[in-house]
Amino acid sequence: MTAEPYRKPIPVPTPETQPYWDKAREHELWIQRCLACAHIFFYPRRHCPQCLSENLEWFKASGRGTLYSYVINHRPAPGFEDEAPYAIAIVQMEEGPRMMTNIVGIENTPENLVLDMALEVTFDDVLPDVTIPKWKPAEA
Protein backbone atom coordinates (compact mmCIF):
# COMPACT_ATOMS: atom_id res chain seq x y z
CA MET A 1 0.00 0.00 0.00
CA THR A 2 1.22 3.42 -0.93
CA ALA A 3 0.14 6.52 0.92
CA GLU A 4 -0.73 8.26 -2.32
CA PRO A 5 -4.06 7.44 -3.94
CA TYR A 6 -3.68 4.54 -6.35
CA ARG A 7 -3.88 6.10 -9.82
CA LYS A 8 -3.45 3.05 -12.02
CA PRO A 9 -6.44 1.28 -13.57
CA ILE A 10 -8.24 -0.98 -11.13
CA PRO A 11 -9.62 -4.37 -12.17
CA VAL A 12 -13.25 -5.04 -11.35
CA PRO A 13 -13.92 -8.78 -10.99
CA THR A 14 -16.85 -10.27 -12.85
CA PRO A 15 -18.58 -13.47 -11.71
CA GLU A 16 -16.46 -15.73 -13.90
CA THR A 17 -13.19 -14.03 -12.88
CA GLN A 18 -13.92 -13.59 -9.15
CA PRO A 19 -12.00 -16.71 -8.01
CA TYR A 20 -8.88 -15.48 -9.83
CA TRP A 21 -8.95 -12.16 -8.01
CA ASP A 22 -9.92 -13.73 -4.67
CA LYS A 23 -6.94 -16.10 -4.84
CA ALA A 24 -4.66 -13.24 -5.89
CA ARG A 25 -5.51 -11.52 -2.60
CA GLU A 26 -4.22 -14.69 -0.89
CA HIS A 27 -1.06 -14.41 -3.03
CA GLU A 28 -1.88 -17.46 -5.09
CA LEU A 29 -2.25 -17.71 -8.86
CA TRP A 30 -5.24 -19.85 -9.80
CA ILE A 31 -6.27 -20.70 -13.34
CA GLN A 32 -8.79 -23.03 -14.95
CA ARG A 33 -8.78 -26.50 -16.47
CA CYS A 34 -11.56 -28.10 -18.52
CA LEU A 35 -12.66 -31.43 -17.08
CA ALA A 36 -14.19 -32.44 -20.39
CA CYS A 37 -11.17 -31.96 -22.67
CA ALA A 38 -8.30 -31.21 -20.22
CA HIS A 39 -7.55 -27.83 -21.85
CA ILE A 40 -5.89 -25.34 -19.50
CA PHE A 41 -6.63 -21.70 -20.28
CA PHE A 42 -6.40 -18.06 -19.27
CA TYR A 43 -8.20 -15.55 -19.01
CA PRO A 44 -10.93 -16.92 -16.70
CA ARG A 45 -14.15 -17.94 -18.39
CA ARG A 46 -17.39 -19.73 -17.73
CA HIS A 47 -16.83 -22.01 -20.71
CA CYS A 48 -13.82 -23.85 -22.05
CA PRO A 49 -12.64 -21.99 -25.18
CA GLN A 50 -11.67 -25.29 -26.78
CA CYS A 51 -14.87 -27.35 -26.32
CA LEU A 52 -17.33 -24.89 -24.69
CA SER A 53 -17.90 -27.23 -21.76
CA GLU A 54 -19.00 -25.63 -18.49
CA ASN A 55 -17.39 -28.48 -16.58
CA LEU A 56 -14.34 -26.58 -15.37
CA GLU A 57 -12.14 -26.62 -12.30
CA TRP A 58 -9.90 -24.01 -10.72
CA PHE A 59 -6.42 -25.05 -9.63
CA LYS A 60 -3.35 -23.37 -8.21
CA ALA A 61 -0.77 -22.70 -10.92
CA SER A 62 2.89 -23.39 -10.25
CA GLY A 63 3.73 -19.71 -10.59
CA ARG A 64 6.64 -20.61 -12.82
CA GLY A 65 6.99 -19.37 -16.36
CA THR A 66 9.21 -17.79 -18.99
CA LEU A 67 9.37 -14.41 -20.69
CA TYR A 68 7.50 -14.83 -23.98
CA SER A 69 7.63 -11.27 -25.32
CA TYR A 70 7.48 -7.66 -24.19
CA VAL A 71 7.58 -3.99 -25.06
CA ILE A 72 9.18 -1.18 -23.07
CA ASN A 73 6.76 1.71 -22.91
CA HIS A 74 8.35 5.17 -22.89
CA ARG A 75 5.06 7.11 -22.71
CA PRO A 76 3.53 6.16 -19.40
CA ALA A 77 -0.11 5.47 -18.79
CA PRO A 78 -1.77 7.53 -16.02
CA GLY A 79 -0.38 6.34 -12.70
CA PHE A 80 2.75 4.83 -14.26
CA GLU A 81 4.70 8.10 -14.59
CA ASP A 82 7.31 7.25 -11.97
CA GLU A 83 8.14 3.92 -13.60
CA ALA A 84 8.65 4.88 -17.25
CA PRO A 85 10.15 3.40 -19.24
CA TYR A 86 8.57 0.18 -18.05
CA ALA A 87 8.02 -3.21 -19.62
CA ILE A 88 4.63 -4.59 -20.51
CA ALA A 89 5.34 -8.26 -20.91
CA ILE A 90 3.72 -11.57 -21.69
CA VAL A 91 4.68 -14.53 -19.56
CA GLN A 92 4.44 -18.07 -20.83
CA MET A 93 3.10 -20.02 -17.88
CA GLU A 94 4.51 -23.49 -17.28
CA GLU A 95 0.98 -24.88 -17.60
CA GLY A 96 0.54 -23.48 -21.13
CA PRO A 97 -1.49 -20.27 -21.09
CA ARG A 98 0.06 -16.82 -21.42
CA MET A 99 -0.79 -13.65 -19.51
CA MET A 100 0.17 -9.98 -19.62
CA THR A 101 2.26 -8.69 -16.72
CA ASN A 102 4.79 -6.16 -15.54
CA ILE A 103 8.27 -7.43 -14.71
CA VAL A 104 9.36 -6.39 -11.22
CA GLY A 105 12.59 -6.83 -9.32
CA ILE A 106 14.84 -5.94 -12.24
CA GLU A 107 15.50 -2.78 -14.22
CA ASN A 108 13.39 -3.00 -17.37
CA THR A 109 16.00 -2.75 -20.13
CA PRO A 110 16.42 -4.76 -23.34
CA GLU A 111 19.72 -6.04 -21.93
CA ASN A 112 18.12 -7.33 -18.72
CA LEU A 113 14.98 -8.71 -20.28
CA VAL A 114 16.03 -11.71 -22.32
CA LEU A 115 13.31 -13.74 -23.97
CA ASP A 116 12.69 -17.13 -22.41
CA MET A 117 14.33 -16.15 -19.11
CA ALA A 118 12.75 -17.92 -16.12
CA LEU A 119 10.13 -15.94 -14.21
CA GLU A 120 8.07 -16.52 -11.11
CA VAL A 121 4.87 -14.94 -9.96
CA THR A 122 4.70 -12.33 -7.22
CA PHE A 123 1.84 -10.27 -5.86
CA ASP A 124 1.34 -6.53 -5.52
CA ASP A 125 -1.24 -5.48 -2.91
CA VAL A 126 -2.27 -2.23 -4.55
CA LEU A 127 -5.44 -1.56 -2.53
CA PRO A 128 -6.91 -3.19 0.57
CA ASP A 129 -9.20 -5.25 -1.63
CA VAL A 130 -7.13 -5.52 -4.81
CA THR A 131 -3.98 -7.56 -5.43
CA ILE A 132 -2.40 -7.71 -8.88
CA PRO A 133 -0.26 -10.68 -9.95
CA LYS A 134 3.09 -9.67 -11.43
CA TRP A 135 6.16 -11.65 -12.42
CA LYS A 136 9.82 -11.34 -11.48
CA PRO A 137 13.02 -13.10 -12.44
CA ALA A 138 13.07 -16.57 -10.89
CA GLU A 139 15.42 -17.08 -8.02
CA ALA A 140 18.15 -19.53 -8.99
Query: Rule CB under 8 A: which residues touch other proteins?
Result: 5-14, 17, 21, 42-43, 68-80, 83, 85-86, 88-90, 98-102, 110, 115-116, 132
CB of 122 to other proteins, least distance (A): 13
d(CA 81, CA 48): 38
**59 beta partners:** 31
Compare residues 110 and 128 and give the one whose CB is closer to other proteins: 110
Compare residues 35 and 84 and give the one whose CB is closer to other proteins: 84
Compare residues 82 and 139 and give the one whose CB is closer to other proteins: 82
- Residues with Cβ < 8 Å from 58, sequence gap 6 or more? 19, 23, 30, 31, 32, 33
d(CA 81, CA 60): 33
